[in-house]
Amino acid sequence: MDSFHIRIRLERDIAEQAMAMANDRGLELGDVIRMMVTKAVLSGDFAIGHDRPSPPPAAETRAFFAYDDSQWAPLKSVLDAELALALLNQFVATHTVEIERLLDLDPPDVVRVEQLTRERDEARHALSTLDPQNAQAIDAIVERYASPQAPTRARTSSDQDDGETA
């Protein structure tokens, strides 16, 4: 192994505490220092100052960003189809809950119920006729239903904000 030997001087109390910390982890102080220097070289920065945090690693150097697109290509269409199904089911569920809430009002908001029922029925139709192999249909569903368009409910006097956040 090609290595470079270096001698360092530490204050006795610092050295004793550092050796105790290393021993607690089953290491020797030299191993810890070698690991710290290696980490600094790999990250390109000595994170010594307490006044500034060490920089986060660049996004393109993190392991989970370094993948071969060709390995994920077969899964992408399947995942997109699963996403489309989940979005449609969520849309139907939120509209159903909102329709039931509006029907419980006295008097019921019939116009809004009709609109939500129409939207829900369109989503149900899309769900029943969805071809998971049709990439254009999947993309259209994701584009339409992925935006946060849950039915907005009008505030009633019982819904007044009590100052708490969700």
SS (H, E, C) 95-164: HHHHHHHHHCCCCCCHHHHHHHHHHHHHHHHHHHHCCCCCHHHHHHHHHHHCCCCCCCCCCCHHHCCCCC
pTM tops 0.75: no
Task: Sketch the domain layout of the chain as residue ranges.
Answer: 1-49, 69-153
Per-position b or e across 97-118, b if 16+ CB within 10 A of its CB: ebbeebeeeeeebeebbeebee
- Give every CB contact of residue 138 below 8 A, 6+ residues apart in sequence: 77, 80, 81, 84, 130, 132
What is the pLDDT tens value at each position of the chain, 166 positions in all? 577 778 888 899 998 998 999 889 888 888 888 888 888 888 777 777 656 666 665 555 545 555 667 777 778 888 899 999 999 999 999 999 999 999 998 898 899 999 999 999 999 999 999 998 999 999 999 999 987 655 555 444 444 444 444 4
